Amino acid sequence: MQFQLTDEQRALRDTVRSYLRDRFGPKQVRELYDDDRSDGIPPALWQALGEQGWLAVLVPEQYDGLGLGLLDAAVLAREMGAGTVPGPWLGTVLVAEALRLAGSADQQAAHLPQLAAGEVKGAVALLKPGSSPTPAGAPATARDGRLSGRLDFVEYACSADLLVVASDDGLFLVDPRGAGVTCTAQEALDRTTRLGSVTLDGVPGERLEGSTPELVQDLLDRAAVLVANDLVGIARKALTDTVDYDKTRVQFGRPVGSFQAVKHALADLHVGVSFAEHAATYAAHAADVDAADRQLAASVAKSKAADVCRDATGAMIQYHGGIGYTWEHDAHFSFKRSKRLEPAYGDAAQHRERIAGLVIDAAPVASTG
């Protein structure tokens, strides 16, 4: 029984963590927040993601990738969350995953090496805003290979080189600069991302032939698991920063962290964040080994991570006092990123409803253990 990261995974985590600490810390995040003209993709950061192989984790080795698993990608996602890192990492990874899972050999050969190297930036539109995380939530319709629909809140849509769009006929590759595609930037509260609204008006798309509903569901689950890991990264960092601050902030002649009202809240958060970390880790592993309970695990992870990150980032503001409510303090980076990711690929309630569908409505499923 080894419920822990491997030495290699820990080394990967440490490398990403130290890179971000040294090269892309809170100061750089803040520059992005204060720069109205930025496209939200700091060039040096993006270049490093490509060079370090951090876009290539899930891409098979034959396409210049690292051929690793979702748990390895989850390790990265967690550090991205902790560092409130900007850029289309997730969109690019998910486009590559869609191609890996459902694309033809030609499609894979045409795109995967460039995606792995960061030469091509990806964006995905898999769900209508507010939809439950199932293939039925696809935002586009396909008629004779032509796609139509409005895709809202698509991360980095306007800077993407390649789009993957879910439709009522599965997944399609779309050239975002092709005829019939218009992209309008949407202002985002979380300035570590950029959102766009894409309108497709009978746009020719390239269908990913393997994209059955089961496979689209798998892709949605993988997206949810990566987001869950990002969320637990945010949550742990928010809690750690808050604990550190409350150890030193003095009121009534003593550190505020010595008051039980504060202690108990932070202790409960530690319990919750620990649970969410376990769940986000297991869900990634369950996908990698195709465990019988992988869908349940994905929904457990996403719902728990969303709830806990909401609590932790809210507590970060509260237990910093007034300074936590200011633009100057970093608390709002975490809070706003959490608000973006809590509903992404199904919010906590939607995932609980999915769990009910999986376990309460179906015959009891034996879980592992």
Partner 1 sequence: MDLRHSEQDEQFRAEFRAWLDANLPQEMREPAFWADLTDDEAFEARRSWEAGKARAGFAGIQWPTEYGGRGGTPTMKAIYDEEMALANAPATVNALGLAFLGPTVMALGTEQQKKSIIAPLLNCETIWCQGFSEPGAGSDLAALQMRAEPQGEDYLLNGQKIWTTNAMHGDRIFVLARTSPPDGGKRHAGISMLLVDMHQSGVEARPLKQMTGESEFGEVFFTDATCPNSEVLGGEGNGWATAMLLLSYERGASAIAQYTEYHRQWEQVVAIARELDRDGRPASADPVLRQQLAGALVELECLKYHSWHVLTATAQGKDLGYEASMTKIMWSETFRRVSDAYEAVLGTAFQVPGLSTGRSLRELTALAMWSRSCTIWGGSQQVQRNVVAERVLGLPR
Binding site for partner 1 (CB under 8 A): 1-6, 71, 243, 246-247, 254-255, 257-258, 260, 262-264, 266-268, 270-271, 274-276, 278-279, 281-282, 285, 288, 296-297, 300, 303-304, 349, 352-353, 355-356, 359-361, 364, 367-369
**Residue given tokens 């850029």 in the structure block:** 87
Answer yes or no: are the C-beta atoms of 88 and 122 closer than 8 Å: yes
Q: Are strands 170-174 and 141-143 parallel, antiparallel or unpaired?
A: unpaired
What is the closest distance, in whole angstroms, from the C-beta atom of residue 152 to partner 1 in the complex? 26
Contact between 342 and 321 (Cβ < 8 Å): no
Quote the least distance from Cβ 264 to partner 1, whole Å.
4
Of 121 and 320, nearer to partner 1 (C-beta) is 320
* Pairwise CA distance, residues 347 & 299, whole Å: 9
Shortest Cβ 128–partner 1 spacing (Å): 20
Letter for the amino acid at 270? Answer: H
Nearest to 49 by CA among 77, 11, 28: 77
What CA–CA distance (Å, rounded) separates 132 from 162? 25
Between CA 10 and CA 315 the distance in angstroms is 28
Task: State which residue, 245 or 333, has the beta carbon closest to partner 1.
Answer: 245
- 9, 32, 49, 57, 193 from 41: Cα distances, Å: 26, 9, 11, 20, 8
Nearer to partner 1, 1 or 105 (CB): 1
Q: Which two tokens stand for residue 167?
A: 């439709």
Q: How far is the CB of 257 from partner 1 (least distance, A)?
A: 4
Nearer to partner 1, 210 or 314 (CB): 314
Q: Which is nearer to partner 1, 44 or 271 (CB)?
A: 271
The amino acid occupying position 300 is V
Residue placing its CB nearer to partner 1 in the complex, 180 or 255: 255
Q: Tell me the closest approach of the beta carbon of residue 134 to partner 1, in angstroms.
A: 16
Closer residue to partner 1 (CB): 158 or 300: 300
- Report d(CA 277, CA 272) in Å as an integer: 9
Give the nearest distance from C-beta 334 to partner 1 in angstroms: 18
- Name the minimum Å distance from CB 230 to partner 1: 18
C-alpha to C-alpha distance for 350 and 299, rounded to whole angstroms: 9
Least CB distance to partner 1 at residue 276 (A): 7
Nearest to 248 by CA among 257, 236, 239: 257
Smaller CB separation from partner 1, 117 or 355? 355
